[in-house]
Amino acid sequence: MRAFVIRGPGDAGVEHVAPPVAGPGEVVVDVARAGVCGTDIEFFTGEMQYLHEGHAAFPMRIGHEWAGIVTAAGEGVDRSWIGRRVTGDTMLGCGVCGRCRDGRQHVCEFRTELGIRGGRHGALAENVSIPARALHELPDAVDDAMGAMVEPGGNALRAVRGAGIRPGDRALVLGAGTIGLLVAMFARAEGADVHIVGRSARSLDFARTLGFEYAVTADELPDHPWDAVIDASNDPALPARAVDLVEPGKRVVYVGLAGSPSLVDTRLIALKDVTTVGVLSASGGLKGTIDAYASGAVDPRPLIAAEVDLDHLAPVLSGIRPAGAGAGPKFHAVI
pLDDT at residue 149, as a whole number = 98
Full 3-state SS string of 181-242: HHHHHHHHHCCCEEEEECCCHHHHHHHHHCCCCCEECHHHCCCCCEEEEEECCCCCCHHHHH
Report which of 182, 198, 189, 190 is spatially closest to residue 282, judged by C-alpha positions.
Answer: 182
Q: Within a domain: residue 288?
A: no
β-pair type (91-92, 112-113):
antiparallel
* Cα separation, 226 vs 194, whole angstroms: 10
pTM for this predicted structure: 0.97
Q: Is the same domain home to 96 and 227?
A: no
Q: Within a domain: residue 246?
A: yes
Element (H, E) at 80: none
What are 182-193's pLDDT values in tens digits? 999 999 999 999
Alpha carbon distances (Å) from 294 to 88, 141, 151, 186, 289: 16, 5, 15, 13, 8
Q: Within a domain: residue 96?
A: yes
Q: Within a domain: residue 286?
A: no
pLDDT at residue 224, as a whole number = 87
Q: Within a domain: residue 20?
A: yes
Q: Mean pLDDT, to the nearest integer, of 119-142?
A: 98
Domain with 197, as residue range(s), is 153-278
**CATH number of the domain bearing residue 120:** 3.90.180.10
Q: Within a domain: residue 19?
A: yes
% of the chain surpassing 90 pLDDT? 98
Q: Within a domain: residue 295?
A: no
Contact 101, 52 (CB under 8 A): no
Q: How many structural domains compose the chain?
A: 2
**CATH number of the domain bearing residue 168:** 3.40.50.720
Confidence of residue 259 (pLDDT cuts 50, 70, 90): confident
295: exposed, middle or buried (C-beta count within 10 Å: 0-12, 13-18, 19+)? exposed
What are 33-57's pLDDT values in tens digits? 999 999 999 999 999 999 999 999 9
Contact 22, 88 (CB under 8 A): no
Q: Is the same domain home to 17 and 142?
A: yes
What are 141-160's pLDDT values in tens digits? 999 999 999 999 999 999 99
Q: Is the same domain home to 236 and 107?
A: no
Q: Within a domain: residue 62?
A: yes
